Structure 1
Amino acid sequence: MSDLQIGLIALGVLLILVVVVFNWWQDRRIRARMREHFPEDENDALLGAAKTSSSMPGERREPGFASMAQGELLPDDEEEVDHPLEAVLDISFAHPVPADALQKAVHGLSDVGGKPVRIFAERDGGGHRSRLRAGESYVSLQLAVLLANRGGPLTAIEWSQLWTVAQELIAKFEGSVEAPEQDEVIQRAARLDAACAELDVQVGLALRPEEPLPLSQIQQITRDVGFMPYGRHLAWMAESGQPRFLLLMDGAAVADLQSDSVSRLDLLLDLPNSPVDTQPFSRMAGVGRDLARRLGTVLLDDQGRPVVAEADGKIDEQLAEIYARLESTGFVPGQPRTALVFS
């Protein structure tokens, strides 16, 4: 190596040292000026919290969040976004938002256009929440909207309504929002709606007395047969406590009747929302025939034709195939997740 090359290398090293020293000197001068204008204080809301967290990791103390330490003990909530069934808007806040303020901002947000909306949050310091808890504060929020139900697929208008809610939240609390493109969401909704439509099977049977009967008489007979109250309906219950099929009076739930007499009874087997049964139709038809005998009428199918007992087994086989298809696509009959879409 020549003297010239050695000299150039030495000069390069010297220049690097000069730059490093200069940057160090500049940094010290800037820090000194900052301390003059913003002296550190143990009670400072920002610097104090930073010092505490660096010296004692895992223990954060911030003004206004008195119950934060208790929140550390609470495990994550198990309920999460169901990505195949829901579209999600992810909201990140610039600063942690107290639960009470966030609750007021999202109060009343339960659906858009008949599509249920669920709210999930990430607690400041860590922790997944499927509901907001008093005393906590949150750094992010998820708005999850159902893509389809019996009201049809999620529409562009419904998706825009949820977007508006998200925009209002980030304007109020400062933050940002991320979400899939609208066209992608609408296409997903249409595909889910089409897939579920092929599995959405309901079977009905009807009884039409020759003349209207007193409601009190109908209520007594249905109790004797074995129907039990279920929400606003009367239902024939399974051992699991789930309804196998419902009883409608004049096309309505018993709680919604506006008359003291009844001219028509309907038995409704809603396959997605009833537990799997090896004889779903035979069971309902048997109860229907018992009712028909007590009311002095005939059991009819949904076309108004008398139901022939010899056909019960064949219909059971057809419904068993629908049950199997529901389960194979992830919709277990009678379960809450299935009810979310088939409602």
Structure 2
Amino acid sequence: MTVKEVLRAHITDHRAHNTDQGNASAEKQGEDRHAPSAAPAATVAAGRASQELGIRRAEFELAVHLGLIAVVGAPGGGRPRVHEEEIARLREQPDFPDALVERVRTVGTAQGAALLDIAPARFTRLARAGCVSPVTFYLNRYRAVVWLYLADELAAFAAREPELLAGRTPPGMRAMLESGADWRARNWRSQRIDRLLDRTTDPWVRTAVQASALDPVQLAEVVDDPYERAYLVRVRPEPVFGRPGSMAAREAMAELMLADDPDEILWRRVNLTLELDAAREDRPAPRPGDDGGARRTAPTRTGARPGPVRQVPAVESTTPPAGTGAPPPAAVGRTTRKGLLARLRWHGRGTG
């Protein structure tokens, strides 16, 4: 089976799953519309929700990012809000709020190393090799990026790969580290993109998510229509909460979001090309003079629905495949009759 066939099979399975979820959601909405006295559910602002849940605002925002707390768009725009029913659901869970706080607890390198009972230098090597993935970051007083990791995911890694916590580093990993590899930013990007894709089924929004990992030159090579590029900028989802406030933090976020290694850039171009094909099949991007019908956009899901929450394992979802430098497959669209590699116009920039 060719790489293209493998990708298409993966896409078909993923889209079938999304379609099933979308149909179930549509049926539920239809039932709600036919309810005899359906009143709008009461919502509260994020600050009020975090207070009622008894967690700090940073913990609340990370829980939203991870899909542990569902939020809804405010009427007429504005900051997302939380249904009171969602707050009640969370408060009814066992060990509330300690269990929720533990699921969003983050640690830095020193704390992570202590949690795994290893030296900080070994923890850094494991993170650089892609064994553990950061979930967020902050800038220290020297404006250097400090990565943070979910404590839950580190504990799961220790239980799953105890042999990597002691003894000699495996030869393959040692060679990888000696070559200067560092998967921390790449894994952070991969998880961020996957979580944004999980929130929407709209093909143009999904394309915009994939486009966010490429710089303007790379993007123009894949999406050669300027109207489509402008539309991708308009529909690109922003973080629900937790947008960096300072100029330095925004600049760091903008830099970290871009793929910076040739094989990662190629992989993101493949994903973007396939998602773009699916978006074009669904509807054309609006152009000057188009009516509002061309601008229809499927609603995005901005959080988890009540029920079991799917955790995203750090290693299983983002650890580099053995013998390759490519990131894990993200959800992608369908191909067209044109040759995929020809459409990518990839010349191995930066490969020497």
- Bigger relative contact order (CA 8 A; separation at least 6): 2
> Which has a greater percent of helix?
2
Larger radius of gyration: 1
> Which has a greater percent of strand?
1
TM-score normalised by length of structure 2: 0.19
